[in-house]
Amino acid sequence: MKIVECVPNFSEGRDLDKIRAIVKEVKSTPEVKLLGVEENPDYNRTVVTFAGSPDGVKEAARKAIARVGELIDMSCHKGSHPRIGAADVVPFVPIRGVTMEECVDLAVELAREVGEGLGIPVYLYREAARKPERRELSYIRRGEYEALPEKLVSERPDFGPCEFNERVRRTGATVIGARKLLIAYNVDLATPDLAIANKISGRVRETGVIRKTNGKERIPGLLKQVQAMGVKLSTGITQVSMNLLDYEVTPPHVALEAVRKEAKALGVEVTASEIVGLVSLEPLLMAGRFYLSSLIPPHPPLLKGGRRDSEEELVRAAIKGLALRDFEPRKKIIEHALDLGTKD
C-alpha cells in the first residue's frame, strides 16, 4: 500500500464557512482520508492534513488550491504567521511504500498544474527545489506577500505567471514541495512580552541571531534542524513557535527542554505546548522514554517484571512530560488516524 501525506497551510483561520468549503474538496476526493483540520485565528491560518494514494492526494491538493483561489483575497489578509499566498505551502510527505523521489515527482506535477492551469505562481521547495537557496521555505517567503510584486521579477517562479496581475494579487504565490515529516511545535510562555519570546526563539533556532558589534556576527542557536519565532496570541500569552524539520535530529522533548531552560533563565514559566497538525508515533515514544527515565518518577506498574513499557504508556508519559494540550492520540498520531496497526 502506497501512502502519501499532504499538509497544506491555507491563509484563512477565522472564516469557518470558507474553511469548511476548502475541506469539502479534500473529503470528496476518492482514495483520500482527511486526518485533521486546525484553524488558528491569531495566525489567520489553517493547517489541513490528509493522506492516501499518491494520485488521490495530489488531486485533493489541486482541488483545494483551486477552491482557495476563489475564496481568499490575499490583498486583505492579516495574520501573525509569515505567508506568501492563499494556498501558502503544500508539502508532500512519504508515509508508507513511497520514496522521497516519488513525492518530488508529485510536487512537480502539482506545481505544473497549479501554475499553468490555475494561473498561480509556484515555487518548489525542500527536496523538490531546483535551486539550493530555495530549499528553505523562509528564503522563498522573505518579504512575504507584500514583497511578491518585486519577487516575481527578481526570483522568477518555477511555474506560473511572473507578473503581479489581478489574479495573482488575490491568490499570491504557492510553495509546493516534498519533505520529511515536519513537526509544527509551539511552546506557551506565561508572559505577554513578545521580546522575551523572540529572545528565546533566537537562542534555540539553528540559525541563531545576528549580533551587531563592530559589524555583523551570527551567533548560532542551540538546536539543529529547528526554525523558531516568537508569536503573541490574543489570549495575552506568547509562544515560541517552532518547526522541527527532522525529529531524529531534534525531537520535541529536546526542543521543549531547551525552551524551558532559556525561559527559566529569563524568569518566565513554560505552561504548556501543542503539536499543530498530526505527528508520527516515533517522536512521542522517544519523549515517553525520556520523561519516564529522567523527569517523571517511575511508576511500579510500568516496571513490574522488568518488562518494557508499552506504546500506550509511553504515549501517556509523552503527553504529560511535554505538557501537551488538546492532544487526542487517536486523532493526532498519524499511524492511529490511518489505523495502520502498530505494536506494543
Name the residue with higher pLDDT: 211 or 206: 206
Domains annotated on the chain, with CATH: 3-178 (3.30.990.10), 181-275 (3.30.70.670), 278-344 (no CATH)
Q: Is 81 a catalytic residue?
A: yes
pLDDT single digits (tens) 73-128: 999 999 989 999 999 999 999 988 999 999 999 999 999 999 999 999 999 999 99
- Give the three-class secondary structure for 102: helix
What is the per-residue burial (b if ≥16 Cβ within 10 Å, else e) of 199-211?
bbbbbbbbebeee
Q: What's the average model confidence in pLDDT over 154-177?
A: 97
Question: What is the maximum span of the chain, computed from C-alpha positions, in angstroms?
Answer: 69
* Mean pLDDT for the chain overall: 92
pLDDT single digits (tens) 320-331: 999 999 999 999
Strand pairing class (3-6; 45-52)? antiparallel
pLDDT single digits (tens) 125-148: 999 999 999 999 999 999 999 999
Distance CA 273, CA 340 (A): 27
pLDDT single digits (tens) 269-310: 999 999 998 898 999 999 999 999 875 555 444 444 444 579
| Poorest-pLDDT segment among 16-30, 73-87, 208-222, 223-237 | 208-222
Distance CA 313, CA 336 (A): 15
Whether residue 7 is predicted with pLDDT greater than 60 in this model: the reply is yes
Name the residue with higher pLDDT: 295 or 337: 337
Confidence of residue 249 (pLDDT cuts 50, 70, 90): very high
**Residues 204, 140, 283, 336: is their CA dihedral positive or negative?**
positive
> In Å, how far are 7, 127, 130 from 218, measured between CA atoms?
32, 26, 27
Catalytic residue among 81, 253, 299, 336: 81
- The pLDDT of residue 295 is 56
- The pLDDT of residue 340 is 58
Distance CA 332, CA 329 (A): 5
**Which pTM value belongs to this model?**
0.77
Element housing 317 (H / E): helix 311-321
- Angle ∠(130,131,134) on CA atoms, nearest 5: 100
- The pLDDT of residue 306 is 42
pLDDT single digits (tens) 209-222: 988 767 778 899 99
- The pLDDT of residue 130 is 96
Confidence of residue 152 (pLDDT cuts 50, 70, 90): very high
**Which of 246, 98, 243, 114 shows the shortest CA–CA distance to 176?**
114
Q: What are the cell numbers at 59?
A: 488531486
- The pLDDT of residue 308 is 57
Residues 6+ apart with CB under 8 A from 39: 12, 13, 14, 16, 19, 45, 46
Element housing 198 (H / E): helix 194-204
